[in-house]
Structure 1
Amino acid sequence: MCTPAAAGRGRVRLNVGGRVFETTAATLATAGRDTMLGAMLDASWNAGHDADGGAAEYFIDRDPACFAVLLDLLRTGGLHVPPGVPEAALHREALYYGLLDRVRAARFGDFDGDRLRLAASVPGRAPGDGTAVRAAPDGGCCVAHGGAVRVYNWMLEERRPVYCPGHAPVNDAAYLDAATLLVAARERPGTGRRGDDGGGGGGGGGVAAFSALTGEPRHRFRVAHGRQPRSFTAGALAFDDGEGCRVFASCKGRLNEYGVAVWDVNTGEQAGFFYEPPGCALGDADRLQWLDGTGTLMAATMFPRADSSFISLLDFRDKSVVWSWSDAGTPASLEDKHAVHAVAMEDGRSVCVINQYHDLGFLDLRKNAAGVRWRSRSKLTASGKTKTWGEETCYPKLATHGGQLFASTGDAISVFSGPDHVLTSTLRGGNGGAICDLSIGGDRLFALHSEENVFDVWETPPPAII
């Protein structure tokens, strides 16, 4: 038997599906010890020599054409897929060998908003009812369509959809991890009798976890008032993936259960409820975001959901509002400039808001009574009005990643970079009308269009291999 060190100096012969490949242990080692190929270097594989003193041969009952592509990836760092190799088969084989991350890294590089290219425009199933797109951490995504959530893997192949109980309309979705999808849904009128589903929420409202791989339900998160489960409509979702490992959802109930509920991810049990304080609108919040730096939750209820926009930072440790802002009482000259979306910046010191005229504004989280510092941007139309597509007005949305700020502006996305948030790029893709939502994750940007439910996929080209 040769040791791992000896194997590292020798050759390895692999018979994959009847086709023989010869390589070095050093090449296999680049796959990583946590992969199937990397594990071959372990002494338990009994990596030895044949009777003639040549390299040991191992038989692997898999697709040889795909293996040739993957072996070349390990050798060169580049992904070269011949015309006869189906993408779906390569994805399956890469998953088997534990090389899926390597394939993804070779397909597109580290995310950079100024170098993004349009990789695909994927048509939706039901035109006109797409409400949200969410990026998965592995490069896939999901799109909310009425009472269903369409799920796509990183190759943009559609998996089994997720359906809420009673096909309740979906308000929000979030990936807890690549295999677990959280869905928040509205309670259908007249269907919330306690006991319909073993504890309230018979109309399908509330928050539930599903398998992102199979669409099967995993857990339903309950809200209790006293000891009695209550029906509720769930709005925005967020989660703390640190030590707390908690799920948050804005809740609008029938018995004054208005606010933000929190559950322990490990147990699935309710861990608390932040009741709506005076002057806030937590039960109607359409945007939640966890801030690691301060250990607080940003809750934003934006126009036109409410007559005025409210943003608060909630501390669940003592159930206090540590910072708040509202555009209620705005001077008459600015009364039509409502904040319609918000995102906490990655530095943890400010919140960016955008109004229906596509002006960016910044709020200082270090000053509790700070006003908005508006920065006027180029308008979509000559009149400066928000453009209407079809019968619905699409308000702009915001996202941040890697220090860059992204804002949907009609049918395009503006990219702002640097400490002064200078406009550095404009992305314009599919032909499905205005962008109603965008999301960044898994080194990709996803943009959902309003009219045809087309969603665009933007990637950063991989670095050149020299």
Structure 2
Amino acid sequence: MMGFPRDRVKFNVGGKIFKTTATTLAVAGKKSFFGAMFDENWNLHSDAAITEHFIDRNPDYFGVLLDLLRTGELYIPPKIDKKFLYRDAEYYGILDHVKSAECDTFDGNRLRLAKSITGLLVGDGKFTPAIQAGPNGWCCVSQGSVAHVYDLILEEHPTINLDYRKVNDVCWVDSENIVVSSDEKIANGGIGLFRASTGELRYKFQVTDEMNDYTTGILSCSSDYKLFFNCRSTSNEHGIGVWDQVTGKQIDFLPYYTYGNASRLQWLHGTNCLMATSFHPRDENCCISLLDFRKNTMVMSWSDVRDRVKKPYITDQTKFRDVIAIEESYSICVVDENARLGSIDLRSTTDASVEWKETTRDNTNSSFFGEVRQSHGGWICDFSIDGDRLFALHGDEDIFDVWETPRPPIK
């Protein structure tokens, strides 16, 4: 086990003196504000041990964060504004410590409603709004020709505006950038890369000549900087293309004739496959496929109707509204037309049946499964999960809910 020196360190924060040890500061990590005070062996630099360090920040917030490093527990006094505490935590590079102290890892059975955001002004109802969770607890809500971006503390940033072109989908590339697709043809700039915090357009993607006739819909990104896009031609041909974000070039295209137009794409990092979900408007069926682009093949598929040709199949005869894979639990989370949440075990190779969680109107039940339909917001039209947060967008009102998993009480 690595040992840390117990040299004392003195800080002058906004005129108030704080004393701590190298052991406490080392908890913040190398990438934090305090990491520069250590060498590669986690020893304090010689000048750091004897110098009083002045920091021109609010001492009240510093004291709360220092206690967090000391104890691993976060106590926010009533006089402390949480919004500014988060901003100072980001300044010191320990925002992840604050998040982990407040919330546990994602657990669908223990989720609690953390906050509801209203006043989206989602438009005139012509277009269905959508929500996309992003890294670091951010999210993006798209409606019509605009996309609203919210940060960790759920403050709204400048909107992304496509100048009256419909937003088809948004996809977080990383914590700073969002890719947005529109109903414009790809060759005419139908996909753009925007800065999340400012709404600034940074780049328009280009395609090969054979893709000039296509428009782009649903998007997804992989960890190795590949962008996947569902697209459709004017002759109603569907496919899934791949861009290399490093070179900016299109590198692959897989025809997707089997199930038609994909309604959701999600990259699965553990299996290096793309999950494509199709909701068929004619027969109201749902198909879930796993696509391996290394071999350009479909390696697995499910359907919510029995089919003598395709197996495995989902045995429940319900209709799905949405589908999200949760790799940590090797499962696919599904929402049906009755607002029930269920899961499909990805490890099953014979029968991909759904294990359902029944919803209830009993508000004393604190789990997300028990309150999936909030009476104040109506039915859920879209939801998204990233990290330890679930975002649920309601269809009846201009509102979305943020769900988190609380930490177990300290014994």
Deviation at 1:350, TM superposition (A): 7.3
The answer on 1:117 being equivalent to 2:112 is yes
Query: Secondary structure of 2:217's partner?
Result: strand
How many angstroms apart in 1 are the aligned matches of 2:386 and 2:330? 22
Residue pairs, 1:340-351, within 5 angstroms: 340-344=321-325, 346=327
Query: Secondary structure of 1:90's partner?
Result: helix
The answer on 1:37 being equivalent to 2:34 is yes
Q: Tell me which moved more, 339-348 or 100-109.
A: 339-348
- Preserved CA contact (<8 Å) 1:236 1:249: yes
Question: 2:232 aligns to what?
Answer: 252
How many angstroms apart in 1 are the aligned matches of 2:179 and 2:285? 28
How many angstroms apart in 2 are the aligned matches of 1:48 and 1:294? 47
Deviation at 1:447, TM superposition (A): 0.8
Query: Secondary structure of 2:243's partner?
Result: strand
Distance 1:327 1:80, change over 3 A: closer
Which residue of 337, 351, 357 corresponds with 1:356? 337
Question: 2:401 aligns to what?
Answer: 456
Question: 1:157 aligns to what?
Answer: 155
Which residue of 238, 250, 264 corresponds with 1:287? 264
Residue type of the partner of 1:432?
Answer: G
Query: Secondary structure of 1:125's partner?
Result: coil
The answer on 1:171 being equivalent to 2:161 is no
The answer on 1:238 being equivalent to 2:225 is no
Distance 1:213 1:251, change over 3 A: same
How many angstroms apart in 2 are the aligned matches of 1:10 and 1:324? 59
Question: 1:76 aligns to what?
Answer: 71
Residue type of the partner of 1:441?
Answer: D
The answer on 1:274 being equivalent to 2:251 is no
Deviation at 1:250, TM superposition (A): 0.5
Question: 2:195 aligns to what?
Answer: 211
How many angstroms apart in 2 are the aligned matches of 1:375 and 1:24? 51
Q: Encode CA deviations 1:24-73: one digit per residue, 9 max, x unaligned.
A: 22222222232112322445561244xxxxxx322222222221221122
Distance 1:327 1:172, change over 3 A: same
The answer on 1:201 being equivalent to 2:202 is no
Distance 1:156 1:171, change over 3 A: same
How many angstroms apart in 1 are the aligned matches of 2:231 and 2:377? 32
Deviation at 1:256, TM superposition (A): 6.4
Distance 1:105 1:307, change over 3 A: closer
- Preserved CA contact (<8 Å) 2:160 2:200: yes
- Preserved CA contact (<8 Å) 1:11 1:25: yes
Q: Tell me which moved more, 310-319 or 18-27.
A: 310-319
How many angstroms apart in 2 are the aligned matches of 1:352 and 1:35? 35
Deviation at 1:436, TM superposition (A): 0.8
Query: Secondary structure of 2:60's partner?
Result: helix
Q: CA RMSD in A?
A: 3.6
- Preserved CA contact (<8 Å) 1:130 1:143: no
Distance 1:114 1:219, change over 3 A: same
- Preserved CA contact (<8 Å) 1:173 1:184: yes
Question: 1:223 aligns to what?
Answer: 207
Residue type of the partner of 2:244?
Answer: D
Q: Encode CA deviations 1:325-370: one digit per residue, 9 max, x unaligned.
A: 5568979xx9x95444444564898767665356768598876xx7
Q: Encode CA deviations 1:193-249: one digit per residue, 9 max, x unaligned.
A: xxxxxx8326xxx332211122112222233234xx6253322222221xx431111
How many angstroms apart in 1 are the aligned matches of 2:328 and 2:80? 44
Tell me the TM-score normalised to structure 2 length: 0.81
How many angstroms apart in 1 are the aligned matches of 2:111 and 2:284? 37
- Preserved CA contact (<8 Å) 2:110 2:368: no
Query: How many corresponding residue pairs?
Result: 391
- Preserved CA contact (<8 Å) 1:134 1:174: yes
Deviation at 1:314, TM superposition (A): 2.6
Tell me the TM-score normalised to structure 1 length: 0.72
Deviation at 1:305, TM superposition (A): 7.0
Query: Secondary structure of 1:168's partner?
Result: coil
- Preserved CA contact (<8 Å) 2:109 2:367: no
How many angstroms apart in 2 are the aligned matches of 1:362 and 1:77? 36
Which residue of 380, 385, 406 corresponds with 1:440? 385
Query: Secondary structure of 1:95's partner?
Result: helix
How many angstroms apart in 2 are the aligned matches of 1:364 and 1:20? 54
Distance 1:310 1:45, change over 3 A: same
Query: Secondary structure of 1:104's partner?
Result: helix
Question: 1:96 aligns to what?
Answer: 91
Distance 1:87 1:302, change over 3 A: same
The answer on 1:18 being equivalent to 2:12 is no
Distance 1:377 1:98, change over 3 A: closer
How many angstroms apart in 2 are the aligned matches of 1:65 and 1:379? 43
Query: Secondary structure of 1:101's partner?
Result: helix
Distance 1:98 1:45, change over 3 A: farther
How many angstroms apart in 1 are the aligned matches of 2:330 and 2:70? 45
- Preserved CA contact (<8 Å) 1:201 1:232: no
Q: Name the larger-Rg structure.
A: 1
Question: 1:185 aligns to what?
Answer: 182
- Preserved CA contact (<8 Å) 2:112 2:367: no
Deviation at 1:453, TM superposition (A): 2.2
- Preserved CA contact (<8 Å) 1:293 1:348: no
Q: Encode CA deviations 1:255-290: one digit per residue, 9 max, x unaligned.
A: 66631110112222111111234x431xx2111123
How many angstroms apart in 1 are the aligned matches of 2:119 and 2:285? 33
How many angstroms apart in 2 are the aligned matches of 1:275 and 1:107? 45
Deviation at 1:311, TM superposition (A): 3.8
Deviation at 1:130, TM superposition (A): 5.5
How many angstroms apart in 2 are the aligned matches of 1:377 and 1:20? 53
Question: 2:130 aligns to what?
Answer: 132
- Preserved CA contact (<8 Å) 1:349 1:366: no
How many angstroms apart in 2 are the aligned matches of 1:306 and 1:341? 16
Q: Encode CA deviations 1:163-198: one digit per residue, 9 max, x unaligned.
A: 23x3322222222221121222223xxxx5xxxxxx
